Amino acid sequence: MASRPQASHLPFLRFTLSLLLSGCLLLSGSAGFGKSEDNAPGVVYVGTYEGVINPVTAEYFNRVLTDAQEAGAAAVVLRLDTPGGLDTSMRLIIKDITASPIPVIVYVAPSGGRAASAGVFILYSAHIAAMAPGTNVGAAHPVAMGGGEMDAVMKAKVENDAAAYIKSIAEKRGRNVQWAEDAVRKSVSVTEKEALSLKVIDLIADDVPALLAAVDGREVVTGAGKVVLRTKGARLSCTIRAPSCPGSSGPSASSWPFIPFRPCRSTTRACCSSSWALCCSFSRSR
């Protein structure tokens, strides 16, 4: 985890993400993305992020949560597969999740995915924490940007700060506090089955529909108070897949090129396990 890139780039990111999301809405037609007049109670917004946590990630998650709130969504599912990333971006995401009046479900997926480093904190902060079969979580020890070594004093300060932060999150969500601290101090990592038995997560689910069926009727405490999840059979509204910026651990992070999208109709389960979903893929500008 390291310092956040320059804030001056955020207005451009907001504008670009707004254009992408608007374009995805126009292309989706009856696919159900975004706010609409027939948005019945029970719609669940699904966001997907695979890659390093960075300012684009934080902006993307914020937009998903904002759109879901405006649409009166029953919940938000954030499908996550990450090796970790920037501390400041991670904390922005956690602040948004904590303040959200809508239940946020962080789902580590697909099979073979992970929630490492900053991903552990984000998973712990969710109202519901879930994992797909064949995933893992852990190894949250902070590291210096660029892979360099910190001196002993700085290392202790950063480690203690990270440990205190994840312990406070664990206590708030009623999750395993000791394991959370060990993930930071000892870099422990566990499979999805071990995570469930250790009360690191709430459940294991094969896909998003199975996840929503399993959590239906559960009560969580959001930024607006207690909410009972009504998600079984909910209509899924998929957002664009967020771009993952290259070079996120290096000093040139503030100069990442933005990655445009190519909209495509797909019958795969890649976006949110729904055959009608509008999925968007990304390619670097050439």
Read off the pLDDT of each residue in 34-43 and give the average, rounded to a whole number: 49
pLDDT at 57 over 70: yes
Q: For the ranges 103-112, 196-205, 207-216, 277-286, which has the lowest average pLDDT?
A: 277-286
Which of left, alpha, beta for 279 (phi over 0: left; psi -120 to 50: alpha)?
A: beta
Decide which of 100 and 146 is more confident: 100
Query: How many other CB atoms are there within 10 angstroms of residue 209's CB atom?
Result: 19
Q: Please give the average per-residue pLDDT across 198-208, as a whole number.
A: 98
pLDDT tops 50 at residue 270: no
Residue 143 is predicted with a pLDDT of 85
* Helix, coil or strand: residue 209: helix
pLDDT exceeds 60 at position 79: yes
Closest among 141, 118, 125 to 57, alpha carbons compared: 118
pLDDT reading at 33 higher than 80: no
Identify the H or E element spanning 138. Answer: strand 136-138
114 Cβ neighbours under 8 A, 6+ residues apart: 81, 82, 83, 108, 135, 136, 137
Angle at 14 between CA 33 and CA 236, to 5 degrees: 15
Beta bridge partners of 136: 114, 191
Active site residues: 117, 157
Q: What is the mean pLDDT of residues 189-212?
A: 98
What is the arithmetic mean of pLDDT over 239-243? 59
Distance CA 122, CA 103 (A): 14
Question: Lowest-pLDDT range, 23-32, 70-79, 173-182, 238-247?
Answer: 23-32
Name the residue among 20, 29, 17 with its Cα closest to residue 277.
29
- 83 has a pLDDT exceeding 50: yes
Closest CA to 33 of 282, 211, 215, 272: 272
pLDDT tens-digit map of 123-181: 999 999 999 999 999 999 998 766 677 889 999 999 999 999 999 999 999 999 999 99
The confidence band for 274, taking pLDDT boundaries of 50, 70 and 90, is very low
- What integer pLDDT is reported at residue 286 of this predicted model? 23
Angle at which helices 10-28 and 55-71 cross, to 10°:
50
- Return the minimum-mean-pLDDT range out of 88-97, 186-195, 239-248: 239-248
What does the alpha-carbon distance between residue 230 and residue 169 come to, in Å, rounded to a whole number? 25
To the nearest whole number, what is the mean pLDDT of the chain? 78
Look at 82-96, 129-143, 176-190, 241-255 and tell me which has the smallest mean pLDDT. 241-255
pLDDT of residue 11: 53
Q: Contact at 8 Å (CB) between 88 and 3?
A: yes
- pTM, entire model: 0.74
Task: Assign a CATH topology to domain 44-244.
Answer: 2-enoyl-CoA Hydratase; Chain A, domain 1 (3.90.226)
State yes or no: pLDDT of 214 exceeds 60. yes
Q: For tokens 């649409």, what's the residue?
A: 71
Q: Above pLDDT 90, what percent of the chain?
A: 64
* pLDDT value, residue 156: 94
Q: Whole-angstrom Cα distance, residue 116 to residue 54? A: 14
C-beta of residue 178 within 8 angstroms of C-beta of residue 228: no
- Report pLDDT for 14: 52
The residue assigned the tokens 């902060």 is: 125
Contacts of 75 (CB under 8 A, 6+ apart): 44, 45, 68, 102, 103, 104, 105, 212, 215, 229, 231, 234
Give the Cα separation of 156 and 61 in Å (integer).
31
Q: How confident is the model at residue 226 (pLDDT cuts 50, 70, 90)?
A: very high
